[in-house]
A and B are shown apart, each in its own frame.
Chain A
């Protein structure tokens, strides 16, 4: 029972590089979200999706893109990484009446 799987666990990027953080869930959940966690800030919502083909912006969407072509996958793309995007990123999924399940996070450093 994998739950929510995030890859990679750690990543170092140079400023201006692009990359995709992967998130996959095997619980057939409709709702998926991406958060970033910075010291003293709790978790801030970047983007979320209420189903395949539907995405919307959260609190801090600038610099990030998402897509939801399947129910299972919700990748987060950084088109041109900046040092301000250094953070720990969490993906979460939930069903209609279920709790949210979080991945183990991706620790990203942009130098």
Chain B
């Protein structure tokens, strides 16, 4: 059973465009993380959010944790070709560091 659903599954956009990726669940998470994965590599952590309503910014990336801590979004402003990759959200439902991953969003930014 996949607790975390991400949308869209695939996204192909032109350089300079904005985009938002969503991570949704019916479960409450004590914390939620976003990762980016390049081909042939393991995922690399981008951010961790722990408080409902929290917003974190990482250069052109903005992450938001839902008020009820059941969902999150990742917004990229003025996408660049270097943003291309697989974006994964992961949530911890029990505070035990047993992280469950979402289905992933594969982003391709075209020059």
Contacts and interface: CB of A to CB of B under 8 A. Distances in A.
Contacts of B6: 42
A79 interface: no
Interface residues of A, number: 25
Given A59-B1, A99-B48, A100-B33, A43 B43 contact: yes
B97 A94 contact: yes
A31 B92 CA distance: 13
A41 B1 CA distance: 11
B26 interface: no
Contact of A42 (B88, B96, B97, B98): B88
Contacts of B48: 99
A33 interface: yes
Given A42-B101, A44-B101, A105 B41 contact: yes
- Main SS class of interface, B: loop
B68 interface: no
Interface string B1-25: 1101010010000000000000000
B42 A102 contact: yes
Nearest to B105: A42
Nearest to B98: A48
Contacts of A40: 9, 103-104
Given A31-B97, A90-B42, 4 more contacts: A42-B2, A42-B4, A99-B33, A102-B44
Interface of B: 1-2, 4, 6, 9, 33, 40-45, 48, 88, 90, 96-104
14 contacts: A31-B97, A33-B99, A40-B103, A42-B103, A42-B104, A43-B88, A43-B90, A48-B97, A48-B98, A50-B97, A99-B48, A100-B45, A100-B90, A104-B42
